[in-house]
């Protein structure tokens, strides 16, 4: 599963760092450069919403699929390694009662 893209080769073979590019734009690049192969390489597109109820519906779906949880990301966020902040929030099953 591929969630994000941080580097890509340009048309002349130059390496382009995408860490300072908005998540929404990195997702567009990811869709253009990765060709999915079912059950081998799959691009996770996520769900775009600002509705809290929809967020918890997605979280419940993740719990039903026995996944660890979900990550809520701002579409205008940059990639910031080892940074904890409000741009990316991890919502895990063990942090929610019931």
Tokens of 60: 């419940």
Tokens of 79: 């990639």
Tokens of 33: 């450069």
pTM to 2 decimal places: 0.79
Of 14, 54, 48, 46, the closest CA to residue 30 belongs to 46
Tokens of 71: 């990550």
C-alpha to C-alpha distance for 48 and 28, rounded to whole angstroms: 14
pLDDT in tens, 9-51: 988 999 999 999 999 999 999 999 999 999 899 998 789 999 9
Other C-beta atoms closer than 10 Å to the C-beta of 23 total 19
pLDDT of residue 7: 95
């Amino acid at each position: 599963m591929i969630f994000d893209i941080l580097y890509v080769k340009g048309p002349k073979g130059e390496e382009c760092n995408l860490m300072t590019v908005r998540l929404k734009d990195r997702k567009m690049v990811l869709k253009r450069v990765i060709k999915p192969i079912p059950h081998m390489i799959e691009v996770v597109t996520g769900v775009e919403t600002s509705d809290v109820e929809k967020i918890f519906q997605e979280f419940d779906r993740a719990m039903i699929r026995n996944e660890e949880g979900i990550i809520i990301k701002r579409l205008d966020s940059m990639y910031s390694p080892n940074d904890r902040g409000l741009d990316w929030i991890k919502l895990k099953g063990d942090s929610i009662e019931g």
